[in-house]
Amino acid sequence: MNRQNKIQKLYDKRLKRARAKLKTSSKERYISKADRAKEDEEKGE
């Protein structure tokens, strides 16, 4: 039982890593306040 449990944990760990690698984030990349202000200034001109 102990050996099977150990093998299952390793399998789950690898599967979790693989799924995390494939999953793409739906969040947009963070843009700092200064960069946002700079972009707004360039658009205004």
Mean pLDDT value of segment 10-32: 91
Report pLDDT for 38.
Answer: 94
Mean pLDDT value of segment 26-31: 88
Mean pLDDT value of segment 12-36: 91
The boundaries of the domain holding residue 36 are 2-44
The model carries a pTM of: 0.50
Report pLDDT for 44.
Answer: 83
Q: Does residue 43 register a pLDDT over 90?
A: no
Report pLDDT for 10.
Answer: 97
Query: What total number of domains does the chain contain?
Result: 1
Report pLDDT for 26.
Answer: 82
Angle at 21 (CA atoms; ends 19, 29), nearest 5 degrees: 125
